[in-house]
Structure 1
């Protein structure tokens, strides 16, 4: 098996091919265009068995991954942390595109369980829509904050409920209150109110679209106590295929719920894991907090841990890890069901 490491950039991609023991066989630089990607696929045909290893840059390498997968090549992703160690161990000093591409290829030879790239599917649609909605929510929060300052200047006695500016009834009341006011401050407040209305409408539309995606892809996630549409959409989008995780422990490392051991001698302790995918970690944390309030089995579990001497914070962390395992099993069951359905639809070639 020949491994071709790729160091990707916006304008060019550098390719380095190595054999099974890591010896450099060839080097090529192509343009980061569809024609350049096809040139890379053609260049790889000189070897009978080829696997591409690409530095994980997602948006920079997405088109290259799709073109290589379409032509039938296997593509794996290499994280930058693994590359850094390989560069330090290399004989050639310095940093350049060929050196980085060589490091990517050798890491792919050394690491057997690298994430495998796949063609984009509905899970990426869920991620894009969820990210876009979060951006709009951030914009709305900023608009509402500015509008509150202007409203306080216009009328300090005006009382607006917390998070009330996102509700249509409150928006109508504020609009009526501003109708009889003149001046630049009132003008800006009306424009901000109009922008807040537009953002709220679009946010609600995106949430409905996400609900349809979740119900079509993984409705079982909604059966988990405390998991709503937005949390399920985040889980689907960030997981991007549960089959790329070999176990629930690997999935817990990805979600940042696996504790880090910090023990020595007779003491045995663990530390909070601040790594992993923070969006996934946030989604699981919201499920844990919701269950801790009495929705689902989490409240009894936390009370039992507190009785055993755990603090509430430690109990929430342990509950978050258990929820990570539940999510992993749910996604695996969905993936197994979908695979079975596809096999039933496949033609029987044995007769």
Structure 2
């Protein structure tokens, strides 16, 4: 089988065809336009049983990956971190070209058994797009509130308390009686920012409604878990996609960054915090853990048990996050299992 590694960029992509022993047979560069997909397939038709591997199939490689998939070809998603390590291992240095990167992508596909197979975009992709857009609006709202806080500090002696909200900002601005032209300018800017915050909050509410509608179409039961809101459930499904691509709960926990890293050496058995993994999912686990700790239930009981065993609050929370990762994994698998027909 010929493995074709593809290194995509914004305006071009480079493909390298590798034999079974990893030898590069031929390399070609393509300009990215409407004819790129057919051109890649026409070039690859000279090889028998071609397997495509694309670096960053959910990023710059999304277009070519989805096109190849739509034409009935199997496509593997190669993380850039793996292709970089493969390139350094094979070349013995940091020499980097598009052709070398394409070959490295192919080498990873030949030797790594845990690569994600690209699937057609579905509800998971829609949820990913919607939740990321809502997060962007939330960040803009936070920046607008911070600027508003600065203006009110100069308009009102002592400023306003922390935790500024739209209602509190409107009430504060109504009390302002500017005595100078500069103060009037600050008041007008504050009013504009209040309108901007109101607009962003309306968009956030609209997107939350759209996310809820998409979640209903998936039939997920994630929101039945304590601490999982509509937004968090959308983030989970958007990031994970098909949970069956993970071999076990441990594999899923490693992906979320909830599983500790083994750093043992000789007789010293050690583990440390995993700084990698999917940080969006790790953030979801953190919010879920904090919510369960603050309220009664099995999560809080597990947390208190770890505290009694001598763990610090931070260590106990990490242990709970690891346990909750297993709960989410099992819930998503259960949602995919066929349900027995209803008895009439």
Corresponding residue number in structure 2 for 1:321: 322
Instruction: For residues 119-165 of structure 1, give each alpha carbon's deviation from its aligned partner in whole angstroms, at most 9, with x where no partner exists.
Output: 211111111111111111111111111112212222226655x4342
Query: Which stretch has the larger CA shift, 248-257 or 84-93?
Result: 84-93
Cα distance change of structure 1 residues 227 and 91 upon mapping to structure 2, 3 Å threshold? closer
SS at match of 2:306: helix
Does residue 1:61 correspond to 2:61, yes or no? yes
SS at match of 1:28: strand
Instruction: For residues 70-128 of structure 1, give each alpha carbon's deviation from its aligned partner in whole angstroms, at most 9, with x where no partner exists.
Output: 11111101122222232223359732211111111111111122111112111111111
Corresponding residue number in structure 1 for 2:246: 245
8 Å contact 1:226–1:295 — kept in the other structure?
no
Corresponding residue number in structure 1 for 2:146: 145
How far is 1:25 from its partner? 2.3
8 Å contact 2:128–2:234 — kept in the other structure?
yes
Which consecutive segments of 4 or more residues in structure 1 shift more than 6 A? 179-182
How far is 1:219 from its partner? 3.2
User: How far apart are the structure 1 equivalents of 2:222 and 2:317?
Assistant: 20
User: How far apart are the structure 2 equivalents of 1:3 and 1:106?
Assistant: 8
User: How far apart are the structure 1 equivalents of 2:120 and 2:150?
Assistant: 47
User: How far apart are the structure 2 equivalents of 1:220 and 1:318?
Assistant: 23
User: How far apart are the structure 2 equivalents of 1:314 and 1:303?
Assistant: 11
How many pairs align? 337
User: How far apart are the structure 1 equivalents of 2:58 and 2:16?
Assistant: 20
8 Å contact 1:225–1:295 — kept in the other structure?
no
8 Å contact 1:30–1:37 — kept in the other structure?
no
Pick one of 174, 177, 190 that aligns with 1:176. Answer: 174
Q: Write the mapping of 1:78-117 to structure 2, written as runs, cut at 5 A.
A: 78-90=78-90, 94-117=95-118
User: How far apart are the structure 2 equivalents of 1:223 and 1:89?
Assistant: 46
User: How far apart are the structure 2 equivalents of 1:219 and 1:74?
Assistant: 28
Cα distance change of structure 1 residues 91 and 238 upon mapping to structure 2, 3 Å threshold? closer
| Runs of at least 5 residues in structure 1 that lack an aligned partner in the other structure | 342-351
Question: What TM-score do the two structures reach when normalised by structure 2?
Answer: 0.91
Corresponding residue number in structure 1 for 2:8: 8
Question: What TM-score do the two structures reach when normalised by structure 1?
Answer: 0.89
User: Aligned-pair RMSD on alpha carbons?
Assistant: 2.2
User: How far apart are the structure 2 equivalents of 1:96 and 1:152?
Assistant: 53
Q: Write the mapping of 1:1-351 to structure 2, written as runs, cut at 5 A.
A: 1-56=1-56, 58-90=58-90, 94-156=95-157, 159=160, 162-166=162-166, 169-174=167-172, 176-178=174-176, 183-337=184-338
How far is 1:174 from its partner? 3.9
User: How far apart are the structure 1 equivalents of 2:296 and 2:46?
Assistant: 60
How far is 1:200 from its partner? 1.1
SS at match of 1:119: coil
8 Å contact 1:15–1:27 — kept in the other structure?
yes
User: How far apart are the structure 1 equivalents of 2:168 and 2:289?
Assistant: 31
User: How far apart are the structure 2 equivalents of 1:245 and 1:264?
Assistant: 28
8 Å contact 1:53–1:75 — kept in the other structure?
yes
8 Å contact 1:7–1:101 — kept in the other structure?
yes
| Runs of at least 5 residues in structure 2 that lack an aligned partner in the other structure | none
8 Å contact 1:262–1:270 — kept in the other structure?
yes
How far is 1:262 from its partner? 2.8
Cα distance change of structure 1 residues 296 and 217 upon mapping to structure 2, 3 Å threshold? farther
How far is 1:269 from its partner? 3.0
